[in-house]
Amino acid sequence: MNRIVIRVDGSCNYKNPVVGVGIVIYFGGKEIYSNSYNCGTMFGSTAGTVSVSEWIGLLCALHWIQNKIIEDDSQLAYENKFVGKFDLPKEGFWIRERNIDIIMDSQYVVKTINGEYQNKKKHLECYYQEALRLLNRLPINMVRILWEPRECNTRADELSKEALKKEIQKPKWWDESIFG
């Protein structure tokens, strides 16, 4: 079974604490989705902008997974109601049947979300709590969050840096009341 691999990276501009995020999704070894976001100045940006951008990258990946599950469930409900039988889509992608690796180059974020480190940085707590909330909504053992060196994450890294040159475009799921 092909795994879904989601590579994310964050970047920042230290002169003006702006956060950029890149996300690239692979299935069967092929890129199926990529995007970048210039999230502007974020809550906590002035005190650890790189960590903020990495947490936002993780949240982008987790929200993509949630949205794909909702899309699949809607498709299945449609097919069951109107077609009367279960047919896999032509690409056979159904996300609930996949294992997913989210790969990042931030050891801090990976080890914190995997329970190896405790989050002791107050300015990152809202991002950490949102990531836990999203992970807890997913099937157990569906997602692994892994670390790889920056050199292995070049495409997401490029997108995160490109994002800093774009106009501010926060992800659709962004909640100003939580993240500022």
Residue 105 lies in a domain: yes
The pLDDT tens digits for 108-127 are: 999 999 999 998 888 888 88
Phi-psi region of 92 (alpha: psi -120 to 50; beta: other; left: phi over 0): left
Residue 176 lies in a domain: no
Average pLDDT on 94-118 reads 89
Whole-angstrom Cα distance, residue 111 to residue 85?
A: 43
Residue 113 lies in a domain: yes
Residue 120 lies in a domain: yes
The pLDDT tens digits for 113-171 are: 999 999 888 888 888 999 999 999 888 788 999 999 989 999 999 999 998 888 776 67
**Closest alpha carbon to 138 in 83, 86, 61, 78:** 61
pLDDT computed for residue 87 by the predictor? 47
* Structural domains counted in the chain: 1
Residue 144 lies in a domain: yes
Whole-angstrom Cα distance, residue 128 to residue 56?
A: 10
CATH code, domain carrying 127: 3.30.420.10
Whole-angstrom Cα distance, residue 68 to residue 89?
A: 13
The residue segments making up the domain with residue 132 are 4-171
Token representation of residue 136: 């807890």
Residue 180 lies in a domain: no
The pLDDT tens digits for 37-87 are: 888 776 444 544 668 889 988 998 998 888 887 777 676 665 555 554 444
Residue 162 lies in a domain: yes
Residue 178 lies in a domain: no
